[in-house]
Structure 1
Amino acid sequence: MNTQTPTQYTRPQLPMHLQVPDERGFFGKFGGSFVPPELQKQMDEIYRGYQHICRSHDFIRELRSIRKHFQGRPTPVYYCKNLSDKVGGGRIYLKREDLNHSGAHKLNHCMGEALLAKYLGKKKLIAETGAGQHGVALATAGAYFGIPVEIHMGEVDIAKEHPNVVRMKILGAKVVPVTFGNRTLKEAVDSAFDAYLKDPVNSIYCIGSVMGPHPFPLMVREFQRVVGIEAREQFIEMTGELPNNVVACIGGGSNAMGIFSGFLDDPVDLHGVEPLGRGAKLGDHAASLTYGKEGIMHGFNSIMLTDEKGEPAPVYSVASGLDYPSSGPEHAYLKSIGRTKTVTATDAEAIHAFFQLSRLEGIIPALESAHAVAYAVKLAKERPQEDILVNLSGRGDKDIDFVMEKYGDYADKEY
């Protein structure tokens, strides 16, 4: 007779990306949905629609077809031999999201959001943009699906990112200049939200990052997770092992959350690079995770920069896409549990990296991505035996006029 006690089955722990958010959209204490009741009804409708179609064979098949035949996925991983040799330290690799159609990672979630809007019967896509990459991507998605697009963009960024403004207009989007406040990304979000509130039944606000009220931080992460899935497989295929480090810039944080998601359960250091701008003085940077505190803005709870009155503080970065006083709630959560490391890069470091990568590798990065490259160069010197995978989230075509006007003297330096 067998008197042994049967071994109790223990269900394996879920992968980390499936552990959060909870049903209310919280990543620990961060996230959630802090919006008026009428708008909450629309958020609930969007969430129900997403929950249905994300498991739909037809939706998945169509999205995969779009990614392969329209976006040009998978994007490659590239070894920066010249840059690595010049640095004389660790080996630097790039996940080339700059080669994604429309020039950045943004199309990954814009095509998904537009496909969701089509399923929900929405007649208009509304969004904010800073650097213009999200605006271009959503304008591209709108043209693809035949849905009108309205993009809100601060006047300061319209001047800085003129090439992307032209692209949005060519693609058929209506570009709404935002003329109040600092006239940058935070005000563009305010303006877009106001426009959405006028008709939430027939329109959908396609948030451009892993922020905003639930379910947007979840949805955008899931649409962007393709970056991390591809990068992990590609890096192992190239080298036979995992990278020691993964580096990505963080404003709202969609590109970082996309690539980090592929490595959350691995023994890999994840570095989120925030814009330190001109320095640590409030108003001279947009490093919210580094210098901010818990607070609610734009319908979600996260870490944000505030002034003496507790209001969102003025922020600054040479990179328009990083010029935001808060960060996605999942980034706040991952930092709070010690899974990610928050670091910074200044304007000067980003501009140097912009030219350095251009001259040594023939790749012109977006100013946002240049922050990640700048920190990767620094990390390579500190860890000469390690591999560093950078998410090159966008290309710098949009920035070249602004860079040469403001930083043309850098072009004469040796790199």
Structure 2
Amino acid sequence: MKHQYLKHQPDEEGYFGEYGGSFLPPQLVEEFDRITEAYMKLRKSHDFLSELRRIRKHYQGRPTPVYHAKRLSDAVGGAQLYFKREDLNHTGAHKLNHCMAEALLAKYMGKTKLIAETGAGQHGVALATAAAYFGLECEIHMGEVDIAKEHPNVVRMQILGAQVVPATHGLRTLKEAVDSAFESYVKQLDSALYAIGSVVGPHPFPLMVRDFQSVVGIEAREQYMEMTDGELPDHVVACVGGGSNAMGIFSGFIDDPVELYAVEPLGKSTRLGDHAATLEYGKAGVLHGFKSILLQDEKGEPAPVHSVASGLDYPGVGPEQAYLHGIGRVHVAGATDEETIDAFYAISQYEGIIPALESAHAIAYAMKLARKHPNDAILVNLSGRGDKDIDYVVETFGVREWSPEKLNNE
């Protein structure tokens, strides 16, 4: 079923209401026009879509399952928890859904190289994988802080043949990686495609990445209804940094009577610089070529941000997430670093699934939501696995034993 909402958003200029669009330096305008023209043609092409379906089935291992987490549901003592297992997608996260498609677009356009930023490294690993599959060069920009924090993914990218370029300015995290990648891309427009890693950036990338990630929502809706004799979940929950995994699963339920929750990183405190809760505390502005909600300092510059999850520490959010929040279709929620670490251990020890710290934010909020709605069903996008995070978690927070009593004490 093609949802009515998806047919009408964004408009031809790439706006979701007041958010989105394309704010580019003159040297990039013509190139992004070419990307838009190529994508708008390809998104309706039988050959392109058939090739994408073949890759998803025979290479990525799709569809990924929806799993009923019975032990954790019982432990929480509330709603029934279901997880869309994107951690079982090849490379361990949802990111490959759009990376394989962006690489296919690059091949169509005659490009020989892929350039991108990465935070936690999942997008970088996925893009390096796609580059290896299609025989393209790959250049990944990553903040020095994240390189140290997510070392296993750096090694994976290098093994796959990618060049990992450290971003050494500013806070040396995700925003700086984007800055660094764009700076490099401008010098290589003829040969390279900037494969943006989320539903952010100038038009057409918020539309394009949502389209490529919508496979998550399409599968999840069909699978959940099959598991429950035609019922829909009451709540759908996903973490949000830029918002690609959230838009992926939300797109399957956007026209249904289902509550949608965007879970942001509340970090260590509400003080600016201690969190990355953009929708909760930000205001309208322009960053990296698009208009959205941004965390800003007193001068209107992008504010410093923090999250225990490297993939979420970005001062902006996708324009479609901002729009859906503005019209009241998506509830803004959050999880602190501590709640996230507790959820990381809870699902590990009660279900045998070690999640990415990004995904653990969504799980943390779903556990709280389950207590409030004991007779409901909650579907969570478990967007990635936690192999990349285990050393950091144990070294920073220690090994913990989780028990349901922790929820009673909150």
TM-score by length of 2: 0.97
SS, match of residue 70 in structure 1: helix
Aligned counterparts of 1:185 and 1:14: Cα–Cα separation in 2: 33
Measure how far apart 1:411 and its partner are.
Answer: 2.1
Aligned counterparts of 2:107 and 2:213: Cα–Cα separation in 1: 19
Residue 196 of structure 1, aligned match among 185, 199, 224: 185
Q: Give the aligned residue type for 1:134.
A: H
Measure how far apart 1:329 and its partner are.
Answer: 0.1
Give 1:3-152 correspondences, 5 Å limit: 15-152=4-141
SS, match of residue 226 in structure 1: helix
Matched residue, 1:257:
247
Give 1:288-327 correspondences, 5 Å limit: 288-327=278-317
**How far does the alpha carbon of each residue in 1:109-138 deviate from its partner, in whole angstroms, 9 at most, with x for none?**
000000000000011100000000000000
SS, match of residue 46 in structure 1: helix
Matched residue, 1:233:
222
Kindly indicate whether the alpha-carbon contact (under 8 Å) linking 2:123 and 2:197 is maintained by their aligned counterparts in 1. Answer: yes
Measure how far apart 1:52 and its partner are.
Answer: 1.1
SS, match of residue 309 in structure 1: coil
Aligned counterparts of 2:11 and 2:33: Cα–Cα separation in 1: 14
Measure how far apart 1:59 and its partner are.
Answer: 0.7
Q: Give the aligned residue type for 1:317.
A: S
Aligned counterparts of 1:309 and 1:324: Cα–Cα separation in 2: 18
Aligned counterparts of 2:216 and 2:384: Cα–Cα separation in 1: 13
CA RMSD of aligned residues (A): 1.0
Q: Give the aligned residue type for 2:187.
A: K
Matched residue, 1:353:
343
| Aligned residues with identical type, % of pairs | 69
Aligned counterparts of 1:258 and 1:319: Cα–Cα separation in 2: 19
**How far does the alpha carbon of each residue in 1:70-107 deviate from its partner, in whole angstroms, 9 at most, with x for none?**
00000000000000000110000000000000000000
Matched residue, 1:7:
none
SS, match of residue 400 in structure 2: helix
Q: Give the aligned residue type for 1:90.
A: A
Matched residue, 1:381:
371
Q: Give the aligned residue type for 1:181.
A: G
Q: Give the aligned residue type for 1:252.
A: G
| Structure having the higher Rg | 1
**How far does the alpha carbon of each residue in 1:232-258 deviate from its partner, in whole angstroms, 9 at most, with x for none?**
000000012000000000000000000
Aligned counterparts of 1:211 and 1:343: Cα–Cα separation in 2: 20
Residue 342 of structure 1, aligned match among 332, 335, 340: 332
Q: Give the aligned residue type for 1:332.
A: A
Aligned counterparts of 1:225 and 1:15: Cα–Cα separation in 2: 14
Aligned counterparts of 2:227 and 2:143: Cα–Cα separation in 1: 42
Residue 387 of structure 2, aligned match among 390, 394, 397: 397
Aligned counterparts of 1:22 and 1:49: Cα–Cα separation in 2: 17
SS, match of residue 118 in structure 1: helix
Aligned counterparts of 1:369 and 1:268: Cα–Cα separation in 2: 20
Give 1:135-214 correspondences, 5 Å limit: 135-214=124-203
With over 3 angstroms needed to count, the CA separation of the structure-2 counterparts of 1:81 and 1:402, relative to structure 1, is same
Kindly indicate whether the alpha-carbon contact (under 8 Å) linking 2:345 and 2:401 is maintained by their aligned counterparts in 1. Answer: no
Kindly indicate whether the alpha-carbon contact (under 8 Å) linking 2:235 and 2:261 is maintained by their aligned counterparts in 1. Answer: yes
Aligned counterparts of 1:374 and 1:405: Cα–Cα separation in 2: 21
Matched residue, 2:257:
267
With over 3 angstroms needed to count, the CA separation of the structure-2 counterparts of 1:381 and 1:183, relative to structure 1, is same
Q: Give the aligned residue type for 1:273.
A: V
SS, match of residue 388 in structure 1: strand
Kindly indicate whether the alpha-carbon contact (under 8 Å) linking 2:66 and 2:223 is maintained by their aligned counterparts in 1. Answer: yes
**How far does the alpha carbon of each residue in 1:43-86 deviate from its partner, in whole angstroms, 9 at most, with x for none?**
11001101111111111111000000000000000000000000
Matched residue, 2:408:
none
Measure how far apart 1:38 and its partner are.
Answer: 2.3
Kindly indicate whether the alpha-carbon contact (under 8 Å) linking 2:199 and 2:207 is maintained by their aligned counterparts in 1. Answer: yes
Residue 369 of structure 1, aligned match among 359, 382, 399: 359
Q: Check if 1:224 corresponds to 2:213.
A: yes
Structure 1 segments unaligned to the other structure (5+ residues): 1-12
Aligned counterparts of 1:362 and 1:32: Cα–Cα separation in 2: 43
